[in-house]
Structures are given as C-alpha cells and as structure tokens.
Chains A and B, each alone.
Chain A
Amino acid sequence: VQVNPVKSQPTTSPLIPEMATQEVQLNETLAHLKTESETLKTKLEEERAKLHDVELHQVAEKVEALGQFVMKTRRTLKGHGNKVLCMDWCKDKRRIVSSSQDGKVIVWDAFTTNKEHAVTMPCTWVMACAYAPSGCAVACGGLDNKCSVYPLSLDKNENLAAKKKSVAMHTNYLSACSFTNSDMQILTSSGDGTCALWDVESGQLLQSFHGHAADVLCLDLAPSETGNTFVSGGCDKKANVWDMRSGQCIQSFETHESDINSVRYYPSGDAFASGSDDATCRLYDLRADREVAIYSKESIIFGVSSVDFSLSGRLLFGGYNDYTINVWDVLKGTRVSILFGHENRVSTLRVSPDGTAFCTGSWDHTLRIWA
C-alpha cells in the first residue's frame, strides 16, 4: 500500500499547524484503507462460500475406512548433543541430514544408523537444513541469519566447513530452506518476514517474497508440472502461495488461530496441509480457494510442529509439542492412530521420498524412523 509522503512545508505558513493537518490526513487515509481491506476480506469469504457445496468427510463417506494401524520405531538415531530442530531426506531414500540447537549438522545413513558427515556451524539453533537433490551437498542455517551450502566430501580428513559457501542473507533468523529442482537454487524463509530465492553459485538474490506481516516459519515447493509456486506459513497465522517468477502472492489463507509451524503440499499439488500452535492441522484446496478440513481433537492440546503426507495422500502425519505423533485420515477427518516414543517435543517430521517410512526429530536429542 502506497501512502503519499508528507509534503514539504511552504515557507510562508507556520510549520506546526501544517504538519498537524497532514498527520490527521495520514491517519484518515490509513483508517480508510483498513476499512477497505476489511470489506474486501468479507467479500472474499462470501465468494469462497458460494461454491462450497459439500464437506470433505461427506464426499469421503463412500470410501472404505482404514483398519488398525501398527507403526513402530524401526531406527533410533543418537548422536546429537541437544534438541534436534530439523531434518531432510536424501533422494536415495535412506540418507538424512539433521540439525540441532548446539550447531551440529549431521548426515546419517538412517538404514544402518551410521553417521557419515558432521559439521559444526558457527551459530546455535540451526533451525533449517536441506539435502541437495544430487545428494552431494546440504544446506543449513539458523541464528546466523544465513543459509550456507556444504558440499559433502568422502575424504575423512577433509574439513567440511572449509568448503562452506554462504548463499542466503536475511536480516533475522533462518527458519526453513529448500533446494528447488536442482542444486543450483535455494528457497529460504526467515524471521524477518520474507522468503527469498537464491542462486547458489553466485549467492545472488533472484527473487524476494514480501507479504507476511510477521516471522515466516515454514515453506514447501509445489509438485506441479509447471513447478513455479510454493507455499509459506508464518506467525501472522497466514499461509501464502507465491509465484516464484514474479514474486507475487497469488493466494492467501488465514483460518488458523495461531502461528503456522509447518506447511506441506498434498502429493497432487492441488492442496496443502498446515500445522499450527493452535493444535490443529488444516487442509486448504487451491482450486476451491478455501480451507476444506480441520484435523483436531479435544484431547489434543499442544501445538503441531510439523506435518507430512503419506505417498498416496490418504494419511497426514503430525508431530506435536506433547511428544506424540498423530496420524489422520485425510479424507474422513478422523484420527487413525497416536504414536508414542519421543521423550520431548517432536520438532520435525518428514516422510521418506518413496513413502516407505517417516522420520521424526525431537528435543530429546534423537531422531526416529517409523514404519
């Protein structure tokens, strides 16, 4: 919103009354804009409601109910000395990278539980980490406000930190990062309220995304065939869908009652799920342009830190701040299973690339693989 700057004072009239009048005008303009914004919002909700002719669980009545669910911890990865904050899978379906509060970033072969690489970042609270599509590098960042890329070397004597490449620079903490379809570009989100797209080679900012009114906490790239959009969630309770080329916010959803900690696309790309401090997960349909499901239960009191879908999109896994994982039937809206095991908050959760398992990271310093 452009507000006209205060005009310079004419030399003949006294200074103060002029400024006072202009300040009053400024306030009126802002108030007017606020009203217009509210009116538009209401209209938008009305338009969205017009096409909402059925609920998801009604459409899902004909679908067969899911049977008993048995998932167990199949691997426990121990090695971090403090809270695990983030993890990501390698495309090879068995390796993962994880980062923690004490600044350590570790690459594991989760299948054998062997640690393959370890890096100590110069900052604590490494809240974001990502595996490059080639499997040859990892990106991470946190309180250093940066996103750095570390090429993975198999030379045991090599100090990984020596080859570190600083790519992204924000003015506040890095909350999430993700490579796009190649090792060459990284998408980041930050506590400074913006998202940004970077060229890894040059460190150049390719595009920035402004629109959140507070810290952006999470992002996810769309699996669409034209591959040009992503969704972000923030402390302003909004989930925004962005066009990567133009930097424009093309869709926005605001139905959560608290910070959105995690967003993840439904496998077809037609919808995305979100997890929030308000203890609910929600599903937003992009074509209907509205929220279409809420996954909540009275007995679930603590916030959701992280969500992801099973391969078919039928199941939604949520990691919660009460140390549990809840498994939801996406179509019917019911809670299928609750998994126990972690001894502190579940801070991160990702399903493996081939859907055979999911991994959770926790404040109890461990990661677990569930299948």
Chain B
Amino acid sequence: MTINTLAKGGLQPEQMSCFRKMEKVLVAMQDPDMGMKMRNQRLLITVIPHAMTGHDIITWLIQKYHICEEEALHLGEMLVKYGYIYPLKEPRCLVLRPDESPYRFQTPYFWTSTRWPASELDYAIYLAKKNIRKQGELVEYEKERYSLLHKRINHTWDFVVMQAREQLRASKQRRKADRIVLECQEQAYWLINRPPPGVQNMLDWGLERPNNFSTRVPLIETSRRALGRNRVKSSICLEGFVKYSEQYQNHDPIMQGCLPSNPWISDDIAYWTMNSEIVPVPTRLRVERWSFSFMELLSDAMGRREFMTYLEKEFSAENLHFWQECEEIRHGESSKIIEKVEDVYKNFLAPGAARWVNIDSKTMDKTLEGIKRPHRFVMDDAQMHIYFLMKKDSYPRYLKSDLYKNMLAKAVVPQETKKSVFPFMRRQRHSSPSPAQAGAPAAEEDGRAGTNSAAGSHF
C-alpha cells in the first residue's frame, strides 16, 4: 500500500473521472453560443483578453445547472482549486471571489490531468526562472525548496539554469499581455502541484487502491442461480417503499421533528429520557410503532415485556422464551453453545419438557438430528418456525387485546418545549453514564448531573 500524494505511476481512475467531468464543464463554459461572455480585463496598464469576472462565472453556473448561489460558488471554487480557472488579480490565492475580480481559463497544456506527474526538473526550472527574472520574487518556502532541489539534483543544475534562461529569453519576445498570462498560468499550475505549506494539497487522493483484480472468470454458478430467482414486479416493490415511508414519517425526527424537542438542537435530553429502554409510561409514538411489525415489537425491550405478559395470559409464553434462548445461541459466545443447546433441548424440545414448544414433526426431527452435533445455527429452523407462529397468530391478537389498547391509551404525548424566554441562553449539556461502566446497570439520565435514577435497564 502506498500513500498516493506524489506522482506514482498514472492517475487513478477516480481522479481521471473527476478531471474529465471538470473539463466537460470547462468546455461548456467556453462554448461559443451557450458559454460565458468574455471580455478584456485591465490589469494595471495591460489589457488581458478573454477574461471573465468571478460574478460571471457564478451566474453562468447558476443558470446552467439550476443551482443556488452558494452551490455555484462552491462548484466554481473547485474549478479554481483544481487549476482549471485562475485569478489574474492576487494570482497566489486560488480562491473564487463572487465579484468583479478577473479570471481566465487555464490552458489545457497546464491541466493537471495533462501534465501528470509534475516533474522535479520542471519545478526546478520554474523556480530558477523566477529567481533569475526578479531578485526576491521567490517567497520564503520557494527559496527553501529551491535550495533543496539544488542539493538533490545538483548534477543537472547547469541544464536547469540553461533551460530557465532560454525560456526567459523566449518569453521576452512576446507581447506583455501574453507574457503576463503565461506567467499566471504557470504559477497556477505550480500552486496546485507544489502547494505552499499550510495550503490544502488538492491532489491528495488518499490511499492508492491496488485494485487486486483477480483474473477469474465471473462466477457462472451465481448467474445461473440468479436466473432461477423468483422476482417481484417493480410496481409492487416500489409501492412498498411509499407505504413504509408514509408509515414512519411521523417517527422520523429529521423529517418531522420530535417531541418535546430534538436534543441536538435544544440541548435538552428530555426526548432521550422519555424514550429510555424502560420507562414507567412509554410515549404514544413508541407504542404505535409496536403495531407496525412484529420485529418492531420484539426489538423494543418494553414491547417485548408487554408481549410476554400477554402470552402468559394465553399460556403460550414458552414460545417467546424459546425464541429468546435461540437468539442467545445464535449471537452468544461460541464456548457456551453446547451448554445452551442442551438447556434449550431440556426445557423446550425434549418429550415432556416443562416448556414444550409446538414445532412440526419435520422441523423437530431435523433439529433433534442437528443437536447431536450442536453448532451456532442448529436451532435456526425451529426458531424461525416459532417466530412465524407468534407473528401470524399471537401478535395480531395482541394488537387487538385490551392489554395493548390500554397501553396505547395511557401512553404519553410530550408537550413541545416552549422556546426559552432568553433564546440565546444555552442549556448546560449534562453528561450521561457511559454504557462501558463495568457491572453497573446503565442508569437513566434525569437532567440533573450527579444523581442516578436506577431505572433498571440493561444491555
């Protein structure tokens, strides 16, 4: 694994794809009909052609992509930061100003994607040119790098100086406007490929992904199996998403807010306190959710407790106990599997067991056979059978029962927190006991630092 910040091999596909997309934007911006209006820009006493203002860039982006000003500014800024557009005023600062500041398109010769990787030799020549052209034009970090390069590629230094002088002489023969443009273009290129210290390195792409492509032929078996799948019509599946989102909309705090308030916004943890694992009176939304699916009921500790109470009344609580024990086997420690399987067999499956569960003979036979060599998934079939039994039979009846209806009736609907009289007064953010507290039950935070109301929840 190598850290892909400096030139190493070619550009990664991710980088090329981004560059290509930005270049497409550039091309669209320069389209003779739909592109940007260019004008001449006056820089001190020189007139630079084919320039545009920051404001123009942003306006064009807004119109082309139907985005807001903030987004256009952000996108435009990316184009500047990656060197596709460079500023004429304050050229060392690659920033997009949404005003009359002048900018120009970078020539494809200096696109990062074209000249990759940037070579040390070229950088040395560039710094040498600057040094020769005007004493003191090199800033501090450039001076440091210049002397470092001088040490490192000392053997080619004559060549470096010669090239620099040659390029300077050639440029003196150009018009002043062209010379300024070329200097700006080159400077912008090096600001990106050799960023100043403290400036973000735009060409930092993180870890190079080796892309360990194997030369295996794509699995035929998988495709064959896939062909044999039962598929459901799109209309039915997609309708499912609409229904699900509708059902859960009121329960989605980001979409609908939550009562009494969102703790992250109000700094008040009442919402969390009211919805702790075990509370004296649950909220109405929470009890409603138990009716959405059997999974919802079982995954809520209080819901599960209520359901157990109901099953006890119906003399079928062994089903839920069995299911819970099977969960323990599936997700528990490997070392305890054999012991737990034995317990489950004794308590639930053996003939005359105290809490015998009613499984069909085929599943029972298969399970008993599997128990001879117990493993983590040996109870899966039996567990699923009982799960679906509860889901299809006991669960719907529970939802119609008085037990559930009463729970729903006395469930609390929190009041929305009234906005503070002094809106800028920040509430004190209280810490909560860490779940990592060894041995101690996770106590409920009650809004007052230092007191623990042991509401007895557990993990």
Residues of A within 8 A of B (CB): 1, 30, 33-34, 36-37, 40-41, 43-44, 47-48, 51-56, 59-60, 62-63, 66, 71, 74-75, 83, 90-95, 109, 111-112, 114, 116-117, 125, 127, 133-137, 143, 151-154, 172-173, 180-182, 184-185, 191-193, 199, 201-202, 204, 206, 211, 213-215, 223, 225-226, 235-236, 245, 249-252, 258-259, 266-268, 270-271, 277-279, 285, 287-290, 292, 297-299, 301-303, 310-315, 321-324, 330-331, 338, 340, 343-344, 351, 354-358, 363, 369, 371
| A-contacting 9-mer, from B48-56, B363-371, B430-438 | B430-438
9 A-B residue pairs with Cβ-Cβ distance under 8 Å, sorted by A, are A37-B217, A111-B264, A153-B438, A191-B212, A252-B222, A285-B238, A303-B14, A331-B242, A371-B253
Please provide the 5 A-B residue pairs with the shortest distance between their CB atoms, ordered closest to farther: A135-B435, A312-B248, A182-B331, A312-B252, A152-B436
B257-280 toward A: CB 8 Å interface, digit per residue (1/0)? 010001111000101100100000
Establish whether residues A214 and B245, one from each chain, have CB atoms under 8 Å apart when the complex forms: no
* Residue of A56, A173, A268, A290 with highest tally of chain B CB at under 10 A: A268
On whether A47 and B227 interact (CB within 8 A), knowing A125-B207, A259-B14, A322-B78, the answer reads: yes
The interface residues of chain B lying within 8 Å CB-to-CB of A351 are 254
Q: Is B448 an interface residue (CB 8 A)?
A: no
**Contact flag A277-B17 (CB < 8 Å), given A74-B264, A92-B432, A154-B436:** yes
Tell whether, in the assembled complex, residue A134 and residue B231 are in contact, meaning their CB atoms are under 8 Å apart: no
Given contact pairs A223-B295, A358-B254, enumerate 7 new A-B contacts (beta carbons under 8 Å).
Answer: A52-B234, A59-B241, A92-B435, A180-B331, A225-B387, A249-B222, A303-B18
- Given known contacts A1-B217, A182-B331, A271-B241, A301 and B434 CB-to-CB distance under 8 angstroms: no
Q: Does B251 contact A (CB under 8 A)?
A: yes
Complex: A94 Cα to B435 Cα, angstroms: 11
User: Chain B: interface residue count, which band?
Assistant: 35 or more
Per a CB cutoff under 8 Å, which of A95, A181, A191, A245 touches B435?
A95
Q: Tell me, in angstroms, the Cα distance from A285 to B233 when the chains sit together.
A: 11
B22 close to A (CB within 8 Å): yes
Per-residue CB proximity of B412-446 to A under 8 Å, as 1/0? 00000000000000000111101111100010000
Residues on the A chain within 8 Å of B246, using CB: 63
Question: Is A199's CB under 8 angstroms from B334's CB?
Answer: yes
Shortest Cβ distance from B22 into chain A, in angstroms? Answer: 6
B300 CB to nearest A CB, Å = 12
- Docked pose: A71 CA to B438 CA in angstroms: 37
Interfacial chain A residues near B21, Cβ < 8 Å: 279, 301
Instruction: Tell me if A's interface is mostly helix, strand, loop or mixed.
Output: loop
A114-B431 contact, Cβ under 8 Å, with A74-B264, A251-B226, A356-B253: yes
A173, A252, A288, A357: the one contacting B1 at CB < 8 Å is: A173
A116 close to B434 (CB less than 8 A): yes
Q: Name A71's contact: one of B254, B334, B377 (CB within 8 Å).
A: B254
- From B227, B238, B248, B294, A225 is in contact (CB under 8 Å) with B294
Q: How far is the CB of B14 from chain A (nearest CB, A)?
A: 4
Please state if A44 and B223 are interface contacts (CB–CB under 8 Å): yes
Chain A residue contacts of B327, Cβ below 8 A: 181
Knowing A299-B71, A315-B254, A356-B258, the reply to whether A193 touches B235 (Cβ < 8 A) is no
Q: Given contacts A54-B235, A356-B254, is CB(A214)–CB(B213) below 8 Å?
A: yes
B220 touches A1 (CB 8 A): yes
Q: What CA separation (Å) do A322 and B14 show in the bound complex?
A: 13
Residues of chain B contacted by A133 (CB below 8 angstroms): 459
Residues in chain B near residue A93, CB distance under 8 A: 272
A63: min CB distance to chain B, Å: 6
Beta-carbon contacts under 8 Å, B7-38 to A: 13-14, 17-18, 21-22, 25
Known: A53-B233, A340-B70, A344-B200. A43 touches B227 (CB 8 A): yes
Given the complex of chains A and B, what is the CA–CA distance between A59 and B243 in angstroms? 11
Question: How far apart sit A52 and B436, CA to CA, in the bound complex (Å)?
Answer: 49
Any chain A CB within 8 A of the CB of B139?
no
Known: A173-B1, A355-B252. A214 touches B332 (CB 8 A): no
Q: Closest chain B residue to A326 by CB distance?
A: B71
Q: Which chain B residues border A340 with CB–CB below 8 Å?
A: 70, 74
Most B-side CB within 10 Å, residue of A37, A40, A133, A267 = A40
CB of B45 within 8 Å of the partner chain: no
B411 proximity list for chain A (CB < 8 A): none
Among B220, B234, B239, B430, the residue within 8 A (CB) of A51 is: B234
Q: Are A354 and B253 in contact (CB under 8 A)?
A: yes
